[in-house]
Amino acid sequence: MVKKSPEAYRTIGEASKEIGVPTYVLRFWETKFKQVKLIKRPGGRRFYKPGDIKLLLKIKNFLKNDGLSIKQVNQKLNSEIDNIKSNNNESIIPISEEKSTLKNKDEVLNRLNNILKTLSK
């Protein structure tokens, strides 16, 4: 079997093996954790992005290792998302100021890559 790159999407079977839970658990978690935004094709096939896998591993850790309830995990995840949003809003520089601080296209690319990393967490 060919090993997939870390950026490749995973089927539900692959995600199940990687996370260490049965596929029915992943389907159940989909209904309980709206933060999981997997891709679902018209035929019902599910594809998990690398960020989904990380989030599902985090959910599993909260449930299994920390002993949190589904409600507590949702609160914790929502709190983390709110913190990320508030931190991002504080660091936004108005476009007019940004033009004067960005010297070249490499600096622009680095800033855009940092934004992309933040959004994909």
Q: What CATH number does domain 1-72 carry, 3.40.640.10, 1.10.1660.10, 3.40.1410.10, 3.90.180.10?
A: 1.10.1660.10
Instruction: Give the global pTM.
Output: 0.65
Q: Give yes or no for a contact between 63 and 74, defined as CB atoms under 8 angstroms apart.
A: no
Question: What pLDDT, in 10s, does the model give residues 17-44?
Answer: 999 999 999 999 999 998 888 888 888 8
**Residues 41, 7: Cα–Cα separation, whole Å:** 19
The residue ranking higher by pLDDT, 118 or 15, is 15
For the cut 80, the answer to whether the pLDDT of residue 103 exceeds it is: no
The residue ranking higher by pLDDT, 6 or 103, is 6
What are the φ and ψ backbone dihedral angles of 18, each rounded to 5 degrees?
-65, -40
Beta bridge partners of 40: 46
Q: Give yes or no for a contact between 34 and 81, defined as CB atoms under 8 angstroms apart.
A: no
Taking residue 13's Cβ as centre, other Cβ atoms within 10 Å add up to 11
Which two tokens mark 48? 């998990």
Mean pLDDT of 3-12: 84
Question: What pLDDT, in 10s, does the model give residues 41-93?
Answer: 888 899 999 999 999 999 999 999 999 999 999 999 888 877 776 666 554 45
- Which of helix, strand or coil describes residue 10? strand
For the cut 90, the answer to whether the pLDDT of residue 121 exceeds it is: no
Confidence of residue 97 (pLDDT cuts 50, 70, 90): very low
Which two tokens mark 112? 């855009």
What are the φ and ψ backbone dihedral angles of 58, each rounded to 5 degrees?
-65, -45
Position 116, amino acid = L
